[in-house]
Structure 1
Protein backbone atom coordinates (compact mmCIF):
# COMPACT_ATOMS: atom_id res chain seq x y z
CA UNK A 1 0.00 0.00 0.00
CA UNK A 2 1.30 3.45 -0.85
CA UNK A 3 0.79 6.60 1.19
CA UNK A 4 -2.27 8.57 0.16
CA UNK A 5 -3.11 12.17 1.01
CA UNK A 6 -6.71 12.19 2.21
CA UNK A 7 -6.85 15.96 2.81
CA UNK A 8 -4.17 18.36 1.64
CA UNK A 9 -2.71 20.34 4.49
CA UNK A 10 -1.95 24.00 3.98
CA UNK A 11 0.06 24.63 7.12
CA UNK A 12 3.75 24.94 6.57
CA UNK A 13 6.22 25.16 9.46
CA UNK A 14 7.29 28.65 8.39
CA UNK A 15 3.64 29.80 8.57
CA UNK A 16 3.15 28.84 12.22
CA UNK A 17 1.87 31.66 14.40
CA UNK A 18 3.30 32.30 17.88
CA UNK A 19 2.16 34.56 20.71
CA UNK A 20 4.01 35.64 23.80
CA UNK A 21 4.20 38.53 26.22
CA UNK A 22 7.37 40.59 26.58
CA UNK A 23 8.63 40.13 30.14
CA UNK A 24 10.19 43.60 30.11
CA UNK A 25 7.40 45.92 28.90
CA UNK A 26 4.34 43.62 28.92
CA UNK A 27 3.49 43.98 25.22
CA UNK A 28 1.56 41.07 23.72
CA UNK A 29 3.31 39.95 20.54
CA UNK A 30 2.11 37.78 17.66
CA UNK A 31 4.65 36.64 15.09
CA UNK A 32 5.70 33.92 12.68
CA UNK A 33 8.82 31.81 13.01
CA UNK A 34 10.34 33.67 10.07
CA UNK A 35 10.14 36.93 12.09
CA UNK A 36 12.71 35.68 14.60
CA UNK A 37 15.61 33.33 14.89
CA UNK A 38 15.46 29.62 15.66
CA UNK A 39 17.52 28.42 18.63
CA UNK A 40 18.24 24.69 18.70
CA UNK A 41 18.44 23.54 22.33
CA UNK A 42 18.12 19.83 23.00
CA UNK A 43 18.32 20.36 26.75
CA UNK A 44 15.59 23.00 27.31
CA UNK A 45 13.73 22.67 24.01
CA UNK A 46 13.94 24.59 20.75
CA UNK A 47 12.85 28.22 20.75
CA UNK A 48 11.95 31.11 18.49
CA UNK A 49 13.50 34.39 19.63
CA UNK A 50 12.19 37.78 18.52
CA UNK A 51 13.03 41.34 19.51
CA UNK A 52 10.13 43.20 21.10
CA UNK A 53 9.24 46.14 18.82
CA UNK A 54 8.42 48.31 21.86
CA UNK A 55 11.50 47.87 24.04
CA UNK A 56 13.90 45.70 21.97
CA UNK A 57 14.12 43.01 24.66
CA UNK A 58 14.48 39.41 23.51
CA UNK A 59 11.28 37.36 23.76
CA UNK A 60 11.85 33.60 23.84
CA UNK A 61 8.99 31.28 22.86
CA UNK A 62 8.97 27.48 22.75
CA UNK A 63 9.09 26.40 19.10
CA UNK A 64 6.25 23.93 19.64
CA UNK A 65 3.91 26.56 21.18
CA UNK A 66 2.32 27.84 17.97
CA UNK A 67 -1.35 28.82 17.78
CA UNK A 68 -3.85 30.06 15.21
CA UNK A 69 -3.55 33.69 14.17
CA UNK A 70 -5.71 36.16 16.10
CA UNK A 71 -8.41 38.10 14.32
CA UNK A 72 -9.08 41.79 14.96
CA UNK A 73 -12.11 40.73 17.03
CA UNK A 74 -9.92 38.49 19.23
CA UNK A 75 -7.50 41.35 19.83
CA UNK A 76 -10.31 43.81 20.59
CA UNK A 77 -11.83 41.39 23.12
CA UNK A 78 -8.47 40.87 24.83
CA UNK A 79 -7.82 44.61 24.94
CA UNK A 80 -11.23 45.15 26.55
CA UNK A 81 -10.55 42.44 29.16
CA UNK A 82 -7.20 44.06 29.95
CA UNK A 83 -8.92 47.40 30.59
CA UNK A 84 -7.74 49.08 27.40
Structure 2
Protein backbone atom coordinates (compact mmCIF):
# COMPACT_ATOMS: atom_id res chain seq x y z
CA UNK A 1 0.00 0.00 0.00
CA UNK A 2 2.70 2.50 1.02
CA UNK A 3 5.68 1.48 -1.10
CA UNK A 4 8.90 2.58 0.58
CA UNK A 5 7.04 4.87 2.96
CA UNK A 6 6.75 4.39 6.69
CA UNK A 7 3.30 3.15 7.68
CA UNK A 8 1.85 4.37 10.97
CA UNK A 9 -0.62 2.10 12.66
CA UNK A 10 -3.91 3.72 13.50
CA UNK A 11 -6.97 2.22 15.18
CA UNK A 12 -9.07 3.22 12.19
CA UNK A 13 -6.84 2.94 9.14
CA UNK A 14 -3.14 2.81 8.27
CA UNK A 15 -1.56 6.17 7.57
CA UNK A 16 1.32 6.65 5.14
CA UNK A 17 3.92 9.17 6.27
CA UNK A 18 6.59 10.62 4.03
CA UNK A 19 9.56 11.79 6.03
CA UNK A 20 11.18 15.16 5.39
CA UNK A 21 14.42 13.62 4.15
CA UNK A 22 12.48 11.50 1.64
CA UNK A 23 10.88 14.64 0.23
CA UNK A 24 14.25 16.32 -0.10
CA UNK A 25 15.79 13.26 -1.74
CA UNK A 26 12.93 13.03 -4.22
CA UNK A 27 13.23 16.72 -5.05
CA UNK A 28 17.01 16.32 -5.37
CA UNK A 29 16.46 14.39 -8.61
CA UNK A 30 15.25 17.64 -10.18
CA UNK A 31 17.41 20.29 -8.47
CA UNK A 32 20.67 20.30 -6.51
CA UNK A 33 20.59 18.44 -3.19
CA UNK A 34 21.29 21.56 -1.09
CA UNK A 35 18.52 23.46 -2.86
CA UNK A 36 16.11 20.57 -2.38
CA UNK A 37 16.91 20.47 1.35
CA UNK A 38 16.45 24.25 1.57
CA UNK A 39 13.09 24.12 -0.23
CA UNK A 40 11.81 21.36 2.04
CA UNK A 41 13.08 23.13 5.17
CA UNK A 42 11.37 26.39 4.17
CA UNK A 43 8.14 24.54 3.38
CA UNK A 44 8.20 22.82 6.79
CA UNK A 45 8.90 26.12 8.56
CA UNK A 46 6.08 27.86 6.68
CA UNK A 47 3.67 25.07 7.53
CA UNK A 48 4.75 25.19 11.18
CA UNK A 49 4.34 28.97 11.26
CA UNK A 50 0.89 28.76 9.73
CA UNK A 51 -0.19 26.11 12.23
CA UNK A 52 1.23 28.20 15.10
CA UNK A 53 -0.69 31.26 13.85
CA UNK A 54 -3.93 29.28 13.67
CA UNK A 55 -3.31 27.92 17.16
CA UNK A 56 -2.62 31.39 18.55
CA UNK A 57 -5.79 32.75 16.96
CA UNK A 58 -7.85 29.90 18.44
CA UNK A 59 -6.24 30.43 21.84
CA UNK A 60 -7.22 34.11 21.80
CA UNK A 61 -10.83 33.17 21.02
CA UNK A 62 -10.89 30.63 23.85
CA UNK A 63 -12.32 31.24 27.29
CA UNK A 64 -11.05 34.35 29.04
CA UNK A 65 -8.11 33.78 31.40
CA UNK A 66 -10.15 35.13 34.34
CA UNK A 67 -13.76 33.91 34.57
CA UNK A 68 -16.13 36.87 34.57
CA UNK A 69 -18.25 35.57 37.47
CA UNK A 70 -15.18 35.17 39.66
CA UNK A 71 -13.89 38.65 38.80
CA UNK A 72 -17.29 40.17 39.61
CA UNK A 73 -17.47 38.23 42.88
CA UNK A 74 -13.99 39.37 43.94
CA UNK A 75 -14.87 42.99 43.11
CA UNK A 76 -18.04 42.69 45.18
CA UNK A 77 -16.09 41.13 48.07
CA UNK A 78 -13.56 43.97 48.01
CA UNK A 79 -16.29 46.63 48.07
CA UNK A 80 -18.03 44.82 50.96
CA UNK A 81 -14.77 44.70 52.92
CA UNK A 82 -14.13 48.40 52.27
CA UNK A 83 -17.65 49.26 53.53
CA UNK A 84 -17.07 47.15 56.64
CA UNK A 85 -13.81 48.93 57.44
CA UNK A 86 -15.42 52.39 57.31
TM range (shorter): under 0.3
Determine which structure has the larger strand proportion and give its number. 1
Higher RCO, Cα 8 Å, sep 6+ = 1
Computing the radius of gyration from Cα coordinates, the structure with the larger value is 2
Determine which structure has the larger helix proportion and give its number. 2
TM-score normalised per structure 2: 0.22
